[in-house]
Each structure stands twice: as structure tokens, then as C-alpha cells.
Amino acid sequence: MKRLLSRNETLVAITIIGLILLIGLNNPSFFSLGNIFTLLRTSVVTGILAMGVLIVIVSGGIDVSFTAIAVFGLYVAVKLMKAYMPDAPIWVGFVIASVVGLGLGLINAFFIAQFRLPTLIVTLGTLSMFQGFLLFAIGNEIIRAVPPSMKSFARAAIVRIPMTRGTANLHPAILITIAAIIVTWLLLNYTMLGRGIYALGGSREAAERAGFNVTRIQYFIYGFVGLLSGIAGMTFGSLARQANPQDIVGTELNVIAAVVLGGAQLTGGYGTVLGTVLGVILVVIANSSLILIGVPTVWQRVVIGLIILVGTGIPAIQARRKGKRTVGLADI
């Protein structure tokens, strides 16, 4: 019981419940099926991206270029579909976006693994590089006339429930997120590669001594993030029914915040899929529903920042209490 209480996941879950109660009691429409389905639809893209970010953070790195990769994948996929196969089914777009994402991810991996450069520096660089290349070499106008398969995908639903006003629709894109969650969970917990990612985050030196091929693991990590970002980008475009090269970029911190709130530590080695899912839920609710209890939009960021501070601060203080001193004498 004590163990359960001290777990980060429990803390996040309690916060979510508290927030839901607070919002729901003030505004009962929060609990409507329609709103819940909308919330799910809103968390689809963040959810996919968060899985990639989780893996990077567990390995002790950080990636901030994934949003640029996502929009790059989306834009290229839509442009190619429009130009060469306007009637192709939606999965073609997903394949193109994933391949593009994978390729860009491997560029990150190349710099990180071959030159041992700090991951933040590399991905900060590629973030503007990918974005700049997209705007100047591929296109900078918003594509509103997306291929018909994307339009119909946007209207698709796996569950339709008639309500007093209109219907509540559950979009199939949630299945992509669920798939990403399951794959990541299996990967991290049941493959040697996944354990290697934790090992790398725990101690790079020990991982090398144990015989992990750290270079290969890093190629996998950043490739995987790229691939997921491509998929997320395509999903985003399909839901929004447009390909805007300025979209998504700028939301990195939201996703990273969700992952960190879920218990992943930026120093590497810690983080779970369950925690990340909870973190995403928390951030999505805070982002889209605080307004329901009268928190103005401009204050939402402040509230989210507060949640992060408190959410990551409490475990750190608890750890210190337990006697794990984190203050070093070097810094006095």
C-alpha cells in the first residue's frame, strides 16, 4: 500500500481524479459522452508523440525535433498523394509519413550516435533545420484541399451514439494511439532492446560494459521516434483536414511535460508507459477543460507549469526525505 502510494503513477492518477471532480462538479457537461470522446480525440496526437518522447527520455536523451518531423512527414505525404495518387487510400499517406519520419529520425541518430553530441543540441539544430527545409524547399502554403481519403477519414467513427443534440462520435485514430501505446509497452518491458534503453539511461558506461550495442540502440530510439512522429503528423493532418507547415511545431514542451509529469526523469532511466498515458490525460484535460471552470486561456500555461513543478517537486522532496541526499558538496 505504502509502495503504491509513493508511486508516481498514483500521484498523477489522484491529481487527474481531483481535477475531473473539480471541473465536473462545476460544469456537469464535462461528463457527457460527447465531451469525453472529444477529449480522447484531442489526446490522440499527443499520445502518439508522448510514446516516442518517453523512449528518448528513458534512454537519458531528449528530443525536441519530433514536432518538426511530424509536420514534415504530414506535408510531404499530402503533397505526394495530391500530385501522384489523389485517390489512394489513407494508409498510403501513413506509410509515406512514417518513412519520411523514420528517415529524419535516423539523421538525428546519426549525429547523436556517431559524433556523441548532446541530444538536446542535435535535436535543437535539426528542429530548425527540418522546419526550415520544409518551408523553403517543399512548400510554405497551407494545403486545405486534402485528398478525399483524408476527408472521409476525418469523419470516420468507430462508435456513434445519438445524443439529444447531434451524435457523439469516437474517432478511429484512437486505435492508432492505443497501438502505439501497446507496442511501446511491449518494447520497453519485454524486449532486450527495451531493457537496453533503460540500461543506457541508468548508466551508459555500465551498459557498454555489459555488452549492449549503444550505437545501435540510439539508432533505434531516434528512428522509432521519427517513425511515430510521422504517424502522429499524418493523424493530426487527417483530423484537421489540412496540411499546414506551421502546425504542431511549438507543442514540443506540452508533450515533454506530459511525459515528465508521468514520472519520467530527464536524467534518464526512469519512466513507464502507464505513467506517460496518465501524464497525457492530465495535460490534455488541463489544456482543454480548465476553461470550463473559468481559468482563462492565458492562465492555462501557468496552471500547467504549476502542476509540473508540484508534480515533479513532491517526488524529489520525498526522495530527499528518505535520505538520498542530492546536494553535493561541490556546489557550496
Partner 1 sequence: MAKPCVGYLFSYEIFSKNHQSTYLRSEWEFISMADELLRLNGIYKSFAGVRALQGVDLTIERGKINCLVGENGCGKSTLIKIIAGVYKRDAGEIIINGKEYEDLHPIDAIREGIQVIYQDFSLFPNLTVAENIALNEELANGRRLVSWRNVNRIAKDALAKVEVDIPLKARVEEMSVANKQLIAIAKALRQNAQLIIMDEPTSALTEREVSTLFSVIRRLQKQHGIAFLFVSHKLNEVLEISEKMIVMRNGRVVSSGDRSEYDNARLIFEMTGRRITEKSYDFTPDLNQPPLLRVEGLSAEKVLNDIQFELRRGEIVGVTGLLGSGRTQLALALFGMLPTDNGRVYIDEEEVVITSPQDAIQHGIGYVPEDRLTEGLFLEQSISNNVVVRIIDRLRNSMGLLQTRQVKEQANYWVEALSIKTSDPELPVKTLSGGNQQRVVLAKWLASKPRLMILNGPTVGVDVGSKEELHEMIKHLAGEGMGILLISDDIPELLQTCNRILLMRRGHISEEILPKETNENELSAKLIEE
Q: Which stretch binds partner 1 (CB under 8 A): 34-42, 49-57, 94-102, 195-203?
A: 195-203
Please give the DSSP secondary-structure letter assigned to residue 292.
Answer: G
How far from chain centre, in Å, is Cα 148? 27
**Minimum distance from residue 119 beta carbon to partner 1 (Å):** 18
CA nearest 278: which of 10, 79, 63? 10
Measured from the CB atom, the residue of 139 and 202 that comes closer to partner 1 is 202
Q: Is the dihedral of CA 1, 275, 240, 175 positive or negative?
A: negative
Q: Does the footprint of partner 1 cover residue 4 (CB under 8 A)?
A: no
Terminal CA-to-CA distance of the chain, rounded, Å? 38
Task: Cell numbers for 309, please give them.
Answer: 513543478
**Residue span 149-188 as binding mask against partner 1, x where in contact by CB under 8 A, dash where not:** ----------------------------------------
Selected from 33, 39, 117, 193, the binder of partner 1 by CB under 8 A is 193
330 near partner 1 (CB under 8 A): yes
> Residue 159 has what DSSP assignment?
E
The only residue of 199, 231, 260, 285 in contact with partner 1, by rule CB under 8 A:
199
Helix axis angle, 214-240 relative to 148-155, nearest 10°? Answer: 80
CA–CA gap between residue 260 and residue 273 (Å, rounded): 12
Stretch that binds partner 1, among 111-119, 163-171, 189-197, 294-302 (CB under 8 A): 189-197
- Among 33-41, 69-77, 151-159, 197-205, the segment contacting partner 1 (CB under 8 A): 197-205
- 39, 269, 301, 303: residue in contact with partner 1 (rule CB under 8 A): 269
Q: How far apart are CA 329 and CA 332, in angstroms?
A: 6
Find the binder of partner 1 among 47, 52, 73, 194 (CB under 8 A).
194
Contact of 282 with 27, CB cutoff 8 Å:
no
What does each C-alpha distance from 268 to 202, 264, 300 come to in angstroms? 6, 8, 28
Binding mask 202-231 for partner 1 (x = CB under 8 A): xx-xxx-xxxx-------------------
Residues of this chain that interact with partner 1 (CB under 8 A) are 189-195, 198-199, 201-203, 205-207, 209-212, 269-270, 324-325, 327-330, 332
